[in-house]
Amino acid sequence: DSGVTQTPKHLITATGQRVTLRCSPRSGDLSVYWYQQSLDQGLQFLIQYYNGEERAKGNILERFSAQQFPDLHSELNLSSLELGDSALYFCASSVDSGSYEQYFGPGTRLTVT
Amino acid sequence: DQQVKQNSPSLSVQEGRISILNCDYTNSMFDYFLWYKKYPAEGPTFLISISSIKDKNEDGRFTVFLNKSAKHLSLHIVPSQPGDSAVYFCAAIYTGNQFYFGTGTSLTVIP
């Protein structure tokens, strides 16, 4: 158990809908990262937050957004969902922005039908 | 554009032998590299890392080698154990905290 929690575990929704994925980092970790893993793909870095502020941005679509709240939990919002958004979404946390050792949650599997 | 590549999707090794997992990258600006292990239905777990100023880092049965001129790194597991069966991802970072992961290699250690 990494100490990072993600909810929900599974999510099935229809095209055009909007969903919110939630992540609680390890106790004491200030940095949160979001990744997308599509079928047969590696982990694609989406975005990083550190202590409530956006720190780095990767291949995140404009239809996606994220935020980190004062209690350090983070939410990833996916809107106007398309079939191709079906994937595993991982959240990871680290102690600070400069720490490269990330601790991953179990992931949320999103299926868009 | 896949900047970090793991060209072997799978690898099978006998228990007790050496497992060698390979990773190639294209961006010479990467300054830190990591290996993660992933079991089914779990998130990746950090395994070992190496800075670009080093060419080797060892942690127990796991050793990572970095060849900067070839833009290649490898993970050696000696001796391999059945519990090592998992998917292994290599990752690379450069300033700006952009993490780039490979597509993973599924290792099966045969008892």
Distances from the Cα of B39 to the Cαs of B32, B34, B45, B83, B96, in angstroms?
24, 17, 9, 10, 29
Task: For B8-30, give one letter per residue: b (16+ CB within 10 A) or e.
Answer: eeebebeeeeebbbbbbbeeeeb
Tell me which of B96 and B2 has the higher pLDDT: B2
Q: Which of B42, B45, B101 sits opposite A43 (nearest CB)?
A: B101
Q: Looking at CA atoms only, how far is residue B99 from chain A in angstroms? A: 6
For residue B9, whether the previous peptide bond is cis, meaning omega lies within 30 degrees of 0, is no
Asked if the model's pLDDT at residue A59 lies above 90, the reply is no
A107 token code pair: 């992931």
Q: A107 and B43 in contact by Cβ < 8 A?
A: yes
pLDDT mean across residues, chain B: 93
pLDDT mean across residues, chain A: 93
pLDDT value at residue B41: 84
Q: Which residues of B touch A56 (CB under 8 A)?
A: 96-98
Asked if the model's pLDDT at residue A42 lies above 90, the reply is no
pLDDT value at residue A58: 87
Tell me the average pLDDT across A34-43. Answer: 85
In total, chain A counts a number of residues equal to 113
Q: Which residues of B touch A101 (CB under 8 A)?
A: 34, 46, 49
